[in-house]
């Protein structure tokens, strides 16, 4: 509404100033108001259709259901984020049912089931679940160069553009580890058991996207929460 | 607004100069604030294309003006 108003007022001002007043500064002011109107119109369209509170309720209820299940099964192992090439269609998280010093690294695509067998041993069983990052990663990430700059561009486009969950994203690599710094994250961190297993929703989104981008399984090694920054350390299982 | 005030104080009377600077400012500001939400990005892109065409017309007219020596703007 404001955008249309500005554009209309700008076009009237510029035409009146140009035709009647013959004033270049006022005509220019009218033109600048039209440009501002277009920018304002674009920004008003960036508002979400679903209220953020409703999205938060949906996210929390989904995570609570997974949390109850994981607590009931007594699972304490960390999940492995798999790219879509190792699952059936979209990136998902594999939660091994048994603790293992070496995280599993499935070699062939896992079946589209909730309980899956990922290795030759009888204890190689796990839960294959969809995480908050699964949908967005499959929609917006394509295989990319593992260079930090390319990963950073891909993550920024989703986290600061599409989802508007943070102000900035920085990616660096230290050896085999990928360190992602998320500035001013909007999602608050809570200390619940599901986050120990899957990571926080933000880390989960980052891990899914990096797994998809690199086409490799990824584990959230560590997550640090500072005042205006989340540092997520990821690694690929050896 | 500041651009308009500054140019009018310095007595600039060419509308092409004002418009070119507005267009440059538009591109710089949208680049600095990108990435946008996809729905917003669509309008930003369309506006950008329109402004780019206007900018190119201004440049072409200026080039013609230099080549022919006839004042077009």
Neighbours of B19 (CB within 10 A): 21
- How many interface pairs between A and B have CB atoms less than 8 angstroms apart? 71
Angstrom distance (rounded) from CA A139 to CA A146:
19
CA angle A213, A218, A224 (to 5 degrees): 105
Domain interval for residue A138: 52-235
Q: Is residue A161 located within the same domain as residue A212?
A: yes
Are B38 and A162 an interchain contact pair (Cβ–Cβ within 8 Å)?
A: yes
Chain centroid to CA A18: 49
Partners of residue A41 in chain B, C-beta under 8 Å: 43
Bridge partner residues of A229 (DSSP): A183
Are B18 and A38 an interchain contact pair (Cβ–Cβ within 8 Å)?
A: no
Q: Is residue A14 located within the same domain as residue A111?
A: no
Are A28 and B36 an interchain contact pair (Cβ–Cβ within 8 Å)?
A: no
Q: Is residue A173 located within the same domain as residue A229?
A: yes
Alpha carbon dihedral A82, A86, A91, A96, in 10-degree steps, equals: -40
Q: What stretches of A45-131 show up as alpha helix (H) in DSSP?
A: 52-73
Q: Is residue A93 located within the same domain as residue A190?
A: yes
Output the six-digit token pair for A140.
């917006």
DSSP letter (8 states) at residue A1 = -
Give CA separation, B50 vs A124, B31, B57, in Å. Answer: 58, 16, 11
* Terminal alpha carbon distance of chain A: 55
Contact criterion met (CB below 8 Å) for A42 and B43: yes
Q: Is residue A97 located within the same domain as residue A32?
A: no
DSSP letter (8 states) at residue A159 = I
Mean pLDDT (whole number) for B4-20: 84
Bridge partner residues of A233 (DSSP): A179, A222
Q: Is residue A59 located within the same domain as residue A37?
A: no
Helices B38-68/A24-44 angle, 10° precision: 150
Q: Is residue A165 located within the same domain as residue A120?
A: yes
Looking at residue B23, its pLDDT comes to 92
What is the tens place of the pLDDT at every residue in B28-68?
988 888 777 777 888 889 989 999 999 999 999 989 988 88
Q: Is residue A66 located within the same domain as residue A37?
A: no
DSSP letter (8 states) at residue A84 = G
From A1's Cα to the closest Cα of chain B, the distance in A is 15
Q: Is residue A173 located within the same domain as residue A84?
A: yes
When CB atoms are compared, the residue of A24, A38, A160 closest to B43 is A38
Per-residue pLDDT 10s for chain A (238 aa) are 788 899 899 999 989 988 888 888 888 889 989 988 988 888 887 776 777 778 778 877 887 888 888 888 888 888 889 888 888 778 888 888 877 667 777 777 888 888 888 888 888 888 888 887 787 776 666 665 667 788 888 888 888 887 888 888 899 888 888 899 999 888 776 767 778 888 888 888 899 888 888 888 888 988 888 888 889 999 887 7
From A158's Cα to the closest Cα of chain B, the distance in A is 8
Ramachandran angles phi, psi of A166, nearest 5°: -155, 170
Q: Is residue A141 located within the same domain as residue A205?
A: yes
DSSP letter (8 states) at residue A85 = G
Are A25 and B37 an interchain contact pair (Cβ–Cβ within 8 Å)?
A: no
Q: Is residue A187 located within the same domain as residue A214?
A: yes
Per the document, the length of chain B is: 73
Looking at residue A146, its pLDDT comes to 67
**ipTM value:** 0.81
Q: Is residue A204 located within the same domain as residue A122?
A: yes
Q: How many domains does chain A have?
A: 2
Output the six-digit token pair for A60.
């929390």
Looking at residue A138, its pLDDT comes to 67
- Rounded to two decimals, the pTM is 0.70
């Amino acid at each position: 509404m404001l955008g249309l108003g500005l554009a209309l007022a700008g076009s009237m001002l510029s035409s009146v100033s140009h035709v009647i007043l013959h004033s270049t500064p006022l005509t220019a002011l009218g033109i600048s108001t039209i440009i501002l109107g277009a920018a304002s119109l674009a920004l008003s369209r960036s508002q979400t259709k679903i209220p953020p509170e409703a999205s938060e309720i949906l996210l929390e209820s989904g995570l609570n259901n997974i949390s109850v299940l994981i607590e009931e099964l007594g699972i304490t192992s960390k999940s492995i984020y798999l790219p879509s090439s190792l699952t059936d269609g979209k990136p998902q998280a594999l939660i091994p049912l048994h603790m293992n010093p070496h995280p599993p690294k499935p070699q062939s695509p896992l079946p589209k089931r909730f309980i899956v067998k990922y290795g030759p041993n009888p204890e190689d069983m796990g839960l294959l679940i969809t995480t908050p990052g699964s949908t967005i990663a499959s929609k917006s990430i394509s295989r990319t160069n593992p260079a930090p700059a390319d990963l950073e561009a891909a993550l920024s486009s989703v986290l600061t553009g599409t989802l508007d969950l943070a102000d900035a994203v920085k990616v660096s690599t230290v050896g085999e580890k990928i360190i992602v710094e998320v500035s001013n994250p909007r999602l608050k961190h809570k200390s619940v058991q599901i986050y120990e297993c899957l990571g926080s929703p933000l880390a989960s989104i980052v891990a899914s996207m990096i797994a998809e981008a690199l086409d490799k399984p990824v584990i959230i090694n560590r997550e640090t929460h500072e005042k205006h920054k989340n540092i997520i350390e990821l690694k690929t299982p050896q | 607004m500041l651009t308009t005030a500054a140019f009018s104080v310095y007595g600039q009377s060419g509308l092409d100069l004002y418009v070119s600077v507005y267009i440059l400012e538009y591109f710089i500001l949208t680049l600095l604030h990108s990435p946008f939400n996809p729905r917003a990005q669509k309008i930003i892109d369309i506006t950008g294309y329109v402004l780019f065409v206007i900018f190119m017309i201004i440049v072409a007219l200026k080039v013609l003006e230099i080549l022919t020596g006839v004042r077009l703007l």
